[in-house]
Structure 1
Amino acid sequence: MHQEDTALGLDRRQFLQRTGLAAGVGAALPLLGMAGAGAMAAASSSADDPDQLFKDGQFKRAEQGYRRRLKESADNAHAAAQIGYIALLSNRFADAEKFLKRAVALKPDDEFSLYQLADCYVRQDRLPEAVPWLRKRGELTGSPTDLAHAKLYETIRGTPWQVHGPQRTRIPFLGLEPLPHMMISINGTQPRIFQLDTGATTAGLSMQLAKEAGLEVISESRGSADGQQFTMYYGIAKSVRIGDLEVRNAPVHWNEADRPDLPDGTEAHGTIGTVHFYHFLTTMDYGHQQFVLRRKTEANLRRFRAEVARLKGDVLPLWLAKDHFPCTLGSLNDFGLSSKERARPHAR
């Protein structure tokens, strides 16, 4: 369990049950221009209920149903919240902001929508605008994590997540077990081993590396992982360098939790996860044992799609739920397929 899940009162299974999403991590994370992804849903449902359609992953049809409900009843907070949430999953931030604001205006104690609204601003690097919503949710729920992030985001000065360097960089994996790992430098320190983890968010460091990097504690909360309880410290790194690319003014966190050794006995000094990933067009290439970062531009996205087409790869929708649940559509044996799809020999 990731340390922030406990602060939200949700473990991974509970979160996925609540959202109706089945977690499936894709090899590539091109989280740019995903507005039409809901139309690609593989599962079909005969139900007209938008809540059921949402659970089935048919986001486009679900949104249409919620919009009809909201047109019929302008004070339907649930419909507004779901429209906003579907928009956020697909990075349609203008719609997400509009409908999530409407949802919390109609239902001010809607904890889930308050978090989604804050996350809508965080994903756009508009951190100060996330502060009042995080603080409101933190005060409502007593969540120290929300309050710690609110203090962190109101402290940051200048543009966060500033990317410097070439259009792309490739970094070899040192190994794949227990998680893919590679060398990363924080604030100009000697590069250390970091694990890639889609269960993580921003770069998370050991206490030793945080001290060496000269990080200042801005806020703190409590966290837990693998049965350990510990204090989470939050601060801002001047530099996070991966390969030839550097991110400046980046929020990070660190703690005193014990980390499992790598198979050769080497100690990992940190993890890096989806918040860092979605600032790039990111590929976790297990086949070639490498990590590829491309600047998130339309030109690079076109090149990436062309490369996938040449390799005859499958293109699947990818939605980011909360801040570290990359989700797509899939099936297990015949579960998750319509009768028509089950009849096709290559449906799996």
Structure 2
Amino acid sequence: MTSEFDRRSALRAMAVLASTAAAAPLLGESALAQTGPAGDADTLFKAGKFDQAGRAYEKILTTDPGNVRAARQRGYVGLLSNNFPDAEKYLTTAITLAPQDKDANRLLADCYIRQDKFALAAPRWQAAGQENTAKLFAAFRGEPYQIHGDSARVPWQQLDPVPLVEASINGGPPKKLSFYTRVGPLNLSEKTAREAGLQAVAKEQHEFEGKLVWSYYGVLDSFRLGDLELRNIPVRWSDGEARVGADGLIGTWILYHFLTTIDYAGRSLILRRRTPGTARQARAAAERAGAEQLPLWLAREHLLFSKGSVVDSGPRVAGLNIGGTGEMLAGMTQETAKQLRVRIDHDRPLETSAGGQFLTTYPCYPKEVRLGNAIAKDSYCYANDQPALGREGFDVLLHFSHSFYKPYHVTLDFTAMTLHIAQGPAT
């Protein structure tokens, strides 16, 4: 059964397993299979030229207003940048033209959950064939993600093997939680969920690395992190105990409700309400620190992307795997490494797992990887055999991992959809 929350990524992180930025394509058709204007638009989208692709899809729709794919893709372009009016307009058009289009329904469901419109999201998840996700969002009563407090600066209890912060679940004693932008909702260990008195509103069984695992989904009354409290939020937990010394994992769904700074250099997680005032302060701090403003894209409910480079590749779409674990600074495909003449050490394979499947990766040593003004030279990375075209439907050059961020602090603005990364602790 396909996971609604990328549960395999959650289990992979909790099991201290390396992740990759590639998986099965999101869209049913291959962009390369198209010709003419549609092919041009798809090629632009695949290359990560989203603004240009959006205009190209709009041009198709002016002459072919019944083109489901163009409407769906134009809505997807809007969703990547949290442009909700555009996303809703075009995805609704796609669903009106093709009510059974699962991809369009899933994208519109994502659009609604980002706005905390859970009642509208539930039927769209149902139409997308995601029964358990539909049950979860239909179970909510009242306003989800109620925020109490204005900001929190939470110190890390440790940096490696994973960052840990303390949080309270349903008013209980402090628990040690990590965070990872490769998962969506708050994930808890089975023990922590039981102690918090959580009740499942949906459950499913799936295979992970040859074992059958039950996952459960529920509604958490209270999650307190420093001086902030979130009430009425989605949560998941699984059979078995976490093996990273953590009681749970904070995912992107919590992070994107705030102006979030993940301060590796200062060993703290900083969350502030998303207001014009906090945004101005963050921009001013970034300018003082000499940070370059980068685009921020959000795909498939929780996966973060910006623009990065390897050696002389030039800026291209890059995954932001913030949190998690690992000594490597970045990951890429072997094909990418070979094209950019990056040295791969085939004599020292690393047998690991991604998406619940075993795979082999190899150390590689690019002369430079870059994210804005953040640079690592002659660094330890890895190369794998996964395809560059991920399930997001666009090419991903590389992804930046846990160890890359250690000298820096990263600020994620989910309103302006921009990212700033600067050296040293956040002020």
What's the TM-score once normalised by structure 1's chain length? 0.80
Measured after TM superposition, the shift of residue 87 of structure 1 is: 0.5
Distance 1:336 1:236, change over 3 A: same
Measured after TM superposition, the shift of residue 223 of structure 1 is: 4.3
Which of 242, 257, 277 in structure 2 is aligned with 1:299? 277
Is structure 2 residue 22 aligned with structure 1 residue 13?
A: yes
Is structure 2 residue 195 aligned with structure 1 residue 212?
A: yes
Report the counterpart of residue 47 of structure 2 in structure 1. 56
Alignment of 1:22-171 (within 5 A): 49-138=40-129, 146-165=130-149, 167-171=150-154
Distance 1:55 1:93, change over 3 A: same
Is structure 2 residue 309 aligned with structure 1 residue 331?
A: yes
How far does the alpha carbon of each residue in 1:153-211 deviate from its partner, in whole angstroms, 9 at most, with x for none? 1121110000001x221111112223221111110011111111111111111111111
Report the counterpart of residue 351 of structure 2 in structure 1. none
Q: State whether residues 2 and 200 of structure 1, in contact with CA within 8 Å, keep that contact through their aligned partners in structure 2.
A: no
Letter in 2 for 1:50: A
Letter in 1 for 2:68: A
How far does the alpha carbon of each residue in 1:9-29 deviate from its partner, in whole angstroms, 9 at most, with x for none? xx951347869xxxxxxxxxx
Distance 1:180 1:227, change over 3 A: farther
SS in 2 for 1:179: coil
How far does the alpha carbon of each residue in 1:264-317 deviate from its partner, in whole angstroms, 9 at most, with x for none? xxx311111100100111111111111000111121111111111111111111
How far does the alpha carbon of each residue in 1:40-61 deviate from its partner, in whole angstroms, 9 at most, with x for none? xxxxxxx991212112222111
Report the counterpart of residue 283 of structure 1 in structure 2. 261
Letter in 2 for 1:159: E
Uncovered stretches (5+) of structure 2, i.e. residues with no partner: 9-19, 29-37, 317-371, 376-427
Letter in 1 for 2:182: G
Letter in 1 for 2:175: R
Measured after TM superposition, the shift of residue 76 of structure 1 is: 0.9
Q: State whether residues 3 and 224 of structure 1, in contact with CA within 8 Å, keep that contact through their aligned partners in structure 2.
A: no
* Structure 2 CA distance for aligned equivalents of residues 80 and 17 of structure 1: 16
Is structure 2 residue 221 aligned with structure 1 residue 245?
A: no
Letter in 2 for 1:168: S
Letter in 1 for 2:135: K
Report the counterpart of residue 175 of structure 2 in structure 1. 192
Report the counterpart of residue 272 of structure 1 in structure 2. 250
Q: State whether residues 6 and 223 of structure 1, in contact with CA within 8 Å, keep that contact through their aligned partners in structure 2.
A: no
Letter in 1 for 2:43: Q
Q: State whether residues 3 and 225 of structure 1, in contact with CA within 8 Å, keep that contact through their aligned partners in structure 2.
A: no
Letter in 1 for 2:97: L
How far does the alpha carbon of each residue in 1:55-91 deviate from its partner, in whole angstroms, 9 at most, with x for none? 2222111111110011011111111111100101111
Distance 1:17 1:159, change over 3 A: closer
How many residues are matched?
Answer: 299
Report the counterpart of residue 292 of structure 2 in structure 1. 314
Letter in 1 for 2:295: P
Measured after TM superposition, the shift of residue 337 of structure 1 is: 5.1
* Greater per-residue helix proportion: 1
Equivalent pairs: percent with the same residue?
A: 39
Distance 1:307 1:196, change over 3 A: same
* Structure 2 CA distance for aligned equivalents of residues 15 and 283 of structure 1: 30
Distance 1:6 1:271, change over 3 A: closer
Letter in 1 for 2:218: G
Distance 1:17 1:113, change over 3 A: closer
Tell me the C-alpha RMSD between the 2 structures.
2.6
Q: State whether residues 183 and 303 of structure 2, in contact with CA within 8 Å, keep that contact through their aligned partners in structure 1.
A: no
Letter in 2 for 1:155: A
* Structure 2 CA distance for aligned equivalents of residues 272 and 93 of structure 1: 24
* Structure 2 CA distance for aligned equivalents of residues 242 and 16 of structure 1: 35
* Greater per-residue strand proportion: 2
Q: State whether residues 27 and 103 of structure 2, in contact with CA within 8 Å, keep that contact through their aligned partners in structure 1.
A: no
Report the counterpart of residue 40 of structure 1 in structure 2. none
Measured after TM superposition, the shift of residue 137 of structure 1 is: 1.4
Letter in 2 for 1:252: V
Uncovered stretches (5+) of structure 1, i.e. residues with no partner: 20-46, 139-145, 262-266, 339-345
Report the counterpart of residue 186 of structure 2 in structure 1. 203
Which stretch of structure 1 is more off in the superposition, 90-99 or 170-179? 170-179
* Structure 2 CA distance for aligned equivalents of residues 105 and 287 of structure 1: 49
Letter in 1 for 2:239: E
